Structure 1
Amino acid sequence: MARKLAKTTRGMPNRVERLGFRLDEETKDLIERAAHLSRRKISDFCVTALTDTARRTIAEHETMVLSDRDRKAFFDALVNPPEPSERLVRALAEHKRRVAT
């Protein structure tokens, strides 16, 4: 995914992309009130809120949380790996046959 960022003299990214959407009046009033209470411009408030939510969403999808039992099984398999199954041995042989090194 390409990103366009132009740098200003102060080192802050210059906003060059637009994102547009429509809101109902109640949601718009809510956002305006929150921006006012935090003493920020509406656009700055929205960009920060969207960015924070986007980062959290990505982290939730890219992070795996294991139970204690699963964590133990994972590390046990790393420390004492099981013997490869016949199916895995065949798959590796087929891979070696097809892929030139």
Structure 2
Amino acid sequence: MATTFNDRIDVRISTEQKELVKYASLLRGFKSVSEFVVYCINNEATKIINDSNVMFKSVEDKKIFIDAILNPPAPNENLKKAQLRYKK
């Protein structure tokens, strides 16, 4: 079954970066630099998503975290005391 490609990403990199990527691609035996780049970005994206899913096990966990960031609770007495101690 052939894979159909119907989207594109264009990036600009320095000559040194391109040579580094070409060399790494050759060392790993990829047919082309493009194949190597697609492989690498797919692996990295998967790792990032998996790391995120480890931190937040569910959509509800993510909602709770975002809500706490966007709508933090008012400081309690202990936090107010700690702030005063820090300022001294």
* Structure 1 residue aligned with 2:8: 18
Aligned-residue Cα RMSD (Å) equals 1.5
Aligned length: 55
Q: Aligned AA for 1:34?
A: A
Q: Which runs of 5+ in 1 are unaligned?
A: 1-10, 66-101
Aligned: 1:35 with 2:62 = no
Partner of 1:93: none
Sequence identity percentage: 24
- Larger helix share, 1 or 2: 2
CA distance in 2: counterparts of 1:31 and 1:63, whole angstroms? 30
Distance 1:60 1:26 in 2: 30
What is the correspondence of 1:49-64 to structure 2 with a 5 Å cutoff? 49-64=40-55
- Rg: which structure is higher? 1
Q: Which runs of 5+ in 2 are unaligned?
A: 57-88
User: Aligned equivalents of 1:20 and 1:59: distance in 2?
Assistant: 25
* Offset at residue 13 of structure 1 (A): 2.2
